[in-house]
Amino acid sequence: MIGLQMSSFKDGDHAILTRHDRTKIVQIRKERPIIIEKHKLYLDNLIDQIDGTYYELDGQQLKKLDAKQVHQLEQTDQFDHGCDNRDLCDESQNQLLQHEDIESLKSQGTSGQIHANLSSMEAKFLRRDTLAMLLSLSNVSCESTVAIVESCQGLVLASVIQRCAGNGKIFNLTVGGNTNSTLPCCDFMDFPSELTNNVYTLPLENIGDKKYLINAKLTTTACANTETSSKMREQKSIVAEERRQRRIDGLELFENTKLDSLIIATKYDSLSILKHLINYLNISSHFVIYSQFVQGLLECYKYLKQRGGCIHVELSDSWLREYQILENRTHPLIRMSGTSGYLLSGIIVDNN
């Protein structure tokens, strides 16, 4: 059973497929298959369908369920057998492995070891409750001027775009000179151009570099005065020049604008980024820094206290526990993380 959570679908749109307790974001392309749990599926039947529709697997196609089948399926999901482990006895007979079997496994080198390259060690998430808390502490709203430094695949940027709804200004600052704006989360949202026209992707290393900005303007003027044949100007060159001009316009706009909010959620050194951008914040503006580890935030906390000009500087973390509610029993979900990182937030005030 697969449920979809999106509005009416068109060819090229992204959709969230839900099967049991697993979800996957896919792009609907006509006559192009996708792979879900080793199943090859075609999503042609999803085009022009509404959200919240239930389907069943029919070979390599998705077959839409009617209202009666959906009702029966929902009743089946709600049905509870009342089975639990209250009548289980803790006895030695429950252990099928004998002492000799365990010793044999040890001699063969079969043992449980924790490796740094396990998928569970690599999986790092900005959990939904932490994301909500981050947006609340940043005080992002319509007409806000926001600077974002993130390495969460565009999750924070997409959330800010949704909140601003095409108003205000959003500066997406990239680290390492990378100005590529292919952020998966933003692509999955299928934002219209009306919501992304106010987004400027700028290299962080060029922020505050007035010499670079002056040289970039001179280069642009020289290129504009140079006569070039239309045949020699390829489409890729035109697009690259448009991006370059927008980057220059964004840098100039950033230098002449005071920020209302600063959000840092990156794997890079948060302290150096904070020092580089804090002077661009306006009075009464909010800042929030996310990190999975508290040590880096403690350095930022110490710097802010020594610098002054900040109030309500607080270090916090969010706690989320999911509970499974069934008949005659309630217990927390077994597979869940205890924490989703830490947040350092505060408000800029006049230091005088």
Q: Which residue has the tokens 């999503």?
A: 43
CB 339 within 8 A of CB 317: yes
Mean of per-residue pLDDT scores for the chain: 79
Largest CA distance in the chain: 88
Give the whole-angstrom CA distance, residue 214 versus residue 299: 35
| All structural domains of the chain | 2-77 (no CATH), 128-348 (3.40.50.150)
pLDDT tens readout for residues 89-113? 666 666 666 777 777 766 665 444 4
**Amino acid 136: pLDDT:** 94
In Å, what is the CA distance from 66 to each residue of 3, 70, 131, 228? 13, 6, 37, 61
- Beta strands at 33-36 and 39-42: parallel, antiparallel or unpaired: antiparallel
**Amino acid 160: pLDDT:** 95
pLDDT(280) > 60? yes
pLDDT tens readout for residues 195-253? 999 999 998 988 887 777 667 666 655 555 454 445 455 666 777 778 888 888 889 99
CB 327 within 8 A of CB 80: yes
Angle at 229 between CA 226 and CA 231, to 5 degrees: 145
Give the whole-angstrom CA distance, residue 279 versus residue 309: 11
> Which residues have C-beta within 8 Å of that of residue 26, sequence separation ≥ 6?
14, 15, 17, 34, 36, 43
Structure tokens at 44: 């042609």
pTM tops 0.75, yes or no: no
Which amino acid makes up residue 220?
T
pLDDT tens readout for residues 108-145? 654 444 333 333 334 446 888 899 999 999 999 988 99
Give the whole-angstrom CA distance, residue 10 versus residue 44: 10
